[in-house]
């Protein structure tokens, strides 16, 4: 069974910062973790989804990953390892030349058109999925060129997702850790029995807490293993964790999601932001949904001129550090057709994860053959629009005749195949 990461030697936390004001200590205590029992009593248990299964159909029931996780290129595995560079590639037998038929000339045919599939969410102003839209309402543009839709379906399916959670000691007073725990716990409560979920935490390195499983209890157990103050490192290598997760999800078939719970900061990743953005841009069938942590503490620190205590001494501008982190996370979400959330109050979490679940479970799947036959590995921009029979922007009205505002959620584009692929 292949794992996403094995545990290696972790970096011990650095010394305590004795100079922190008593005021921030009191604030951190206010932003404390609500008792799990109280949160669990307030959560309703979701019903099993009667939806059709996705392309990579999991084994029904609450089975461990060993019973057959998402289908990869080497069978039902949890998360496949990278291919061994020294492994001898398989050689396909050359097709036999067909016999020549008298009276017919020999000919050959080659199809260069690439089939592109785009998952599209159409949401109302309050985030509710708008069902029942017809194919003729959708217009797809690739690099500004209209494309002919080859297939169109409205889908509702279980999800295959990795919950990637920041959990380190680099933030003072545990507030960011507690937010991570709360977010992960609420998301776990929204899971349905046919969903395949894995959970990874990261600090200096990524740590696999739960491999792909349909057992919600296993995911809740992984969440409970995150104890405030027990993180092993002060660093947050977000780019490395994101790059590695994307790399290993590439060989998992079907639509996949990353639920990223993070402050958006990165410490000492080996991969740069530019490298990570290129990796995100080139990802296939992967959407990233980001939930920011620590916003209530950051807002308070900004309004009371205390931001310097949320960053290390070597950081010149702490406000800019957090602002840059938010912008990076918004970019990750937008590039993949996901969404970015910034909860301030605990009461928002249930609504946020309900919105994520509704968005990724209900979508329109649109496929088209690209009019650009070049196999040059270039990035092609995709734009999805809703239009009426005249080609004008579609206007929708509710039962009272009032115009309904909506938003279209789809990835920005895709990377074309290379000729050598």
Better-scored residue on pLDDT, 77 or 263: 263
User: Quick one: 321 and 345 in the same domain?
Assistant: yes
Instruction: Check whether 9 has a pLDDT greater than 50.
Output: no
Residue-wise pLDDT for 400-417, tens only, equals 888 889 989 888 899 898
User: Quick one: 202 and 323 in the same domain?
Assistant: yes
Q: What is the pLDDT of residue 50?
A: 40
User: Quick one: 183 and 142 in the same domain?
Assistant: no
Q: Does any domain span residue 102?
A: no
Tokens representing 365 are 């799947």
Better-scored residue on pLDDT, 2 or 380: 380
- Domain end position, chosen among 343, 360, 377: 360
Instruction: Check whether 137 has a pLDDT greater than 90.
Output: yes
Q: What is the pLDDT of residue 124?
A: 83
Q: What is the pLDDT of residue 149?
A: 96
Q: What is the mean pLDDT of residues 42-67?
A: 44
The torsion of the CA quartet 37, 38, 40, 43, rounded to 10 degrees, works out to 170
Q: Which of 9-13, 91-95, 160-164, 386-390 has the lowest mean pLDDT?
A: 9-13
Instruction: Check whether 36 has a pLDDT greater than 50.
Output: no
User: Quick one: 122 and 165 in the same domain?
Assistant: no
Q: What is the pLDDT of residue 146?
A: 96
User: Quick one: 388 and 306 in the same domain?
Assistant: no
Contact 130, 124 (CB under 8 A): yes
Q: Which of 150, 110, 152, 114 lies closest to 135 in space, CA to CA? A: 152
Instruction: Check whether 420 has a pLDDT greater than 50.
Output: yes
Count of the separate structural domains present in the chain: 2
pTM: 0.64
Contact 185, 221 (CB under 8 A): no
Q: What is the pLDDT of residue 157?
A: 78
Which residues, in sequence order, are bridge partners of residue 138? Answer: 386
User: Quick one: 215 and 286 in the same domain?
Assistant: yes
Containing 297, the helix (H) or strand (E) segment is helix 295-303
Print the domain residue range for 164. Answer: 157-360
Question: Percentage helix, strand, coil, to 5, in the chain?
Answer: 30, 25, 50
User: Quick one: 138 and 171 in the same domain?
Assistant: no
- Phi, psi angle pair for 280, to nearest 5°: -65, -45
- In whole angstroms, what is the distance from residue 329 CA to residue 345 CA? 20
Burial class, 155, CB count within 10 angstroms (exposed 0-12 / middle 13-18 / buried 19+): middle
Instruction: Check whether 20 has a pLDDT greater than 70.
Output: no
Q: Does any domain span residue 236?
A: yes
What's the pLDDT band for 185 if we cut at 50, 70, 90?
very high
Q: Does any domain span residue 6?
A: no
What's the pLDDT band for 79 if we cut at 50, 70, 90?
low
User: Quick one: 190 and 125 in the same domain?
Assistant: no
User: Quick one: 297 and 151 in the same domain?
Assistant: no
- Give the strand pairing for 286-292 and 71-72: unpaired
Q: What is the mean pLDDT of residues 337-356?
A: 92
Residue 19's contacts (CB-CB under 8 Å, 6 or more residues apart) are: none
- In whole angstroms, what is the distance from residue 118 CA to residue 138 CA? 12
Q: Which of 40-49, 124-133, 383-392 has the lowest mean pLDDT?
A: 40-49
Instruction: Check whether 240 has a pLDDT greater than 90.
Output: yes
User: Quick one: 288 and 367 in the same domain?
Assistant: no
Q: Does any domain span residue 86?
A: no
Instruction: Check whether 112 has a pLDDT greater than 60.
Output: no
First and final C-alpha spacing in the chain: 28
Q: Does any domain span residue 66?
A: no
Q: Which of 168, 163, 162 lies closest to 265 in space, CA to CA? A: 168
Q: What is the mean pLDDT of residues 44-48?
A: 43
- In whole angstroms, what is the distance from residue 118 CA to residue 367 CA? 6
- In whole angstroms, what is the distance from residue 302 CA to residue 307 CA? 6
Highest mean pLDDT among 106-115, 151-160, 171-180, 298-307: 151-160
Q: In the block, which residue shows the tokens 């380190």?
A: 168
Q: Which of 213, 228, 254 lies closest to 171 in space, CA to CA? A: 228
- Give the strand pairing for 75-76 and 71-72: antiparallel
- Report how far apart, in Å, the C-alpha atoms of 402 and of each of 99, 117, 383 are: 67, 33, 27
Instruction: Tell me the residue length of the chain.
Output: 421
Tokens representing 407 are 């938003």
Q: What is the mean pLDDT of residues 287-296?
A: 92
What is the CATH number for 237? Answer: 3.40.50.410
User: Quick one: 381 and 270 in the same domain?
Assistant: no
Q: Does any domain span residue 47?
A: no
Q: Does any domain span residue 61?
A: no
- Domain end position, chosen among 360, 384, 399: 360
Contact 254, 55 (CB under 8 A): yes
Instruction: Check whether 86 has a pLDDT greater than 70.
Output: no
Q: What is the pLDDT of residue 337?
A: 86
What's the pLDDT band for 271 if we cut at 50, 70, 90?
very high
Contact 2, 77 (CB under 8 A): yes
Residue-wise pLDDT for 189-207, tens only, equals 999 999 999 999 998 899 9
Q: What is the mean pLDDT of residues 118-138?
A: 87
User: Quick one: 396 and 277 in the same domain?
Assistant: no
Instruction: Check whether 344 has a pLDDT greater than 60.
Output: yes
- In whole angstroms, what is the distance from residue 238 CA to residue 278 CA? 15
Instruction: Check whether 69 has a pLDDT greater than 80.
Output: no
Instruction: Check whether 34 has a pLDDT greater than 60.
Output: no
- Domain end position, chosen among 323, 342, 360: 360
Instruction: Check whether 236 has a pLDDT greater than 80.
Output: yes
Q: Does any domain span residue 184?
A: yes
């Amino acid at each position: 069974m292949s794992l996403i990461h094995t545990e290696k030697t972790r970096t011990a936390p650095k010394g305590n910062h004795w100079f922190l004001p008593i005021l921030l200590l009191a604030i951190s205590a206010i932003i404390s973790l609500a008792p799990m029992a109280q949160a669990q009593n307030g959560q309703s248990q979701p019903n099993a989804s009667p939806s059709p299964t996705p392309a990579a159909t999991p084994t029904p029931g609450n089975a461990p990953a060993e019973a057959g996780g998402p289908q990869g290129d080497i069978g039902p595995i949890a998360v496949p390892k990278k291919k061994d560079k020294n492994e001898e590639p398989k050689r396909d037998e050359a097709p036999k030349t067909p016999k020549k038929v008298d009276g017919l000339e020999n000919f050959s045919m080659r199809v260069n058109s690439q089939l592109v599939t785009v998952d599209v969410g159409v949401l109302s102003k309050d985030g509710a999925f708008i069902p029942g839209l017809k194919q003729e309402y959708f217009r797809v543009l690739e690099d500004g060129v209209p494309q002919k839709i080859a297939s169109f379906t409205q889908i509702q399916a279980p999800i295959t997702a990795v919950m990637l959670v920041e959990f380190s000691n680099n933030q003072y007073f545990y507030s960011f850790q507690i937010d991570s725990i709360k977010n992960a716990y609420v998301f776990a409560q929204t899971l349905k029995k046919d969903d395949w979920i894995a959970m990874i935490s990261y600090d200096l390195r990524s740590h696999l807490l739960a491999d792909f499983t349909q057992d919600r209890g296993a995911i809740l157990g992984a969440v409970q293993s995150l104890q405030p103050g027990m993180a092993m490192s002060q660093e947050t290598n977000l780019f490395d964790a994101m790059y590695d997760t994307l790399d290993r999800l590439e060989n998992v078939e079907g639509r996949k999601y990353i639920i990223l719970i993070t402050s958006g900061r990165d410490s000492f990743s080996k991969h740069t932001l530019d490298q990570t953005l290129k990796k995100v841009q080139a990802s296939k069938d992967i959407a990233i949904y980001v939930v920011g942590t620590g916003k209530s503490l950051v807002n308070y620190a900004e309004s009371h001129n205390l931001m310097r205590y949320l960053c290390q001494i070597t950081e010149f501008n702490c406000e800019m550090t957090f602002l840059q982190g938010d912008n990076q996370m918004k970019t990750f979400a937008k590039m993949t057709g996901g969404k970015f959330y910034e909860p301030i109050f605990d009461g928002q979490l249930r609504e946020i994860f309900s919105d994520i679940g509704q968005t990724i479970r209900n979508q329109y799947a649109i496929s088209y053959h690209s009019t650009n036959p070049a196999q040059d590995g270039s990035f092609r921009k995709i734009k999805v629009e809703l239009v009426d029979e005249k080609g004008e922007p579609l206007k929708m009205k509710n039962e009272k005749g009032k115009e309904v505002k909506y938003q279209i959620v789809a990835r920005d584009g895709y990377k074309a195949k290379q000729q050598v692929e």
